[in-house]
A and B are shown apart, each in its own frame.
Chain A
Amino acid sequence: AQSVSQHNHHVILSEAASLELGCNYSYGGTVNLFWYVQYPGQHLQLLLKYFSGDPLVKGIKGFEAEFIKSKFSFNLRKPSVQWSDTAEYFCAVNARSSGSARQLTFGSGTQLTVLP
């Protein structure tokens, strides 16, 4: 079974600071990788996804993530955060094995607070 670790539970940044949220997964096979975001009072929304190809993927709102297969990592980055980026961020993995191809395994989330 796969698992996902998010290293930081709570990150506090000032506006315009750069962001990097760590995500490591544990699974020996081929995976799909996702970052979801949950703004206060809203539902989970897809930020970006990686299935194959270029390991650097770009998502909405200026976010990007890099898949490093050798490190089993999929860190989320943004060069300059805004107050509106305050939210909880979840990394998720979908293992492409026949027994679990359809369920996402989520990390425990990182709460990002951006100070104006």
Chain B
Amino acid sequence: DTGVSQDPRHKITKRGQNVTFRCDPISEHNRLYWYRQTLGQGPEFLTYFQNEAQLEKSRLLSDRFSAERPKGSFSTLEIQRTEQGDSAMYLCASSMDSHNSPLHFGNGTRLTVT
């Protein structure tokens, strides 16, 4: 399978702990996106990379959140000092370098903060 891969699939953590998620995009895609989805809602945009450059960040992305894509391939999303409100599905997507290129999503990482 050459789709978008996310790890882990599930993460349960205690409030105040730090967590890190990984996303491996489709290999020829140089755009990478992070979205967050809560129950009963559609995905909400968090941030976007073109190669290793983080070009857009949503106001949803508080200073406890940081995303990196150091070599322009895989990306990590770290949440520091997790809060219960951070519980959600974190989705990664990738696309070709074209405005009209559709997004290809991974299966997501489900985070539960207790």
Which residues from chain B contact A44 at a C-beta distance below 8 Å? 43, 91, 93, 105
The residues in B between 74 and 114 inclusive whose CB is less than 8 angstroms from any CB of A are 91, 93, 99-100, 102-108
Which segment of A11-19, A76-84, A105-113 sits at the interface? A105-113
Nearest neighbor of A4 in chain B, beta-carbon distance: B42
Q: How many residues of A contact B (CB 8 A)?
A: 25
B4–A109 touching, CB < 8 Å: no
Q: How many residues of B contact A (CB 8 A)?
A: 25
With known contacts A90-B42, A103-B45, A103-B48, A32–B100 Cβ distance under 8 A: yes
- Interface presence of A43 (CB below 8 A): yes
Main SS at interface, chain B? loop
Which residues from chain A contact B45 at a C-beta distance below 8 Å? 103-105
- Interface presence of A42 (CB below 8 A): yes
A109–B42 touching, CB < 8 Å: yes
Give complex CA distance A107, B40 in Å.
10
- Interface presence of A51 (CB below 8 A): yes
The residues in B between 30 and 63 inclusive whose CB is less than 8 angstroms from any CB of A are 31, 33, 40-45, 48, 55-56, 58
Nearest neighbor of B106 in chain A, beta-carbon distance: A43
Give complex CA distance A108, B75 in Å.
26
3 nearest A-B pairs in the assembled complex, by CB-CB distance = A106-B42, A44-B105, A103-B45
List chain B positions with a Cβ less than 8 A from chain A: 3-4, 31, 33, 40-45, 48, 55-56, 58, 91, 93, 99-100, 102-108
Given contacts A102-B48, A103-B48, A103-B56, 4 further A-B contacts (CB under 8 A): A4-B42, A32-B100, A34-B102, A36-B105
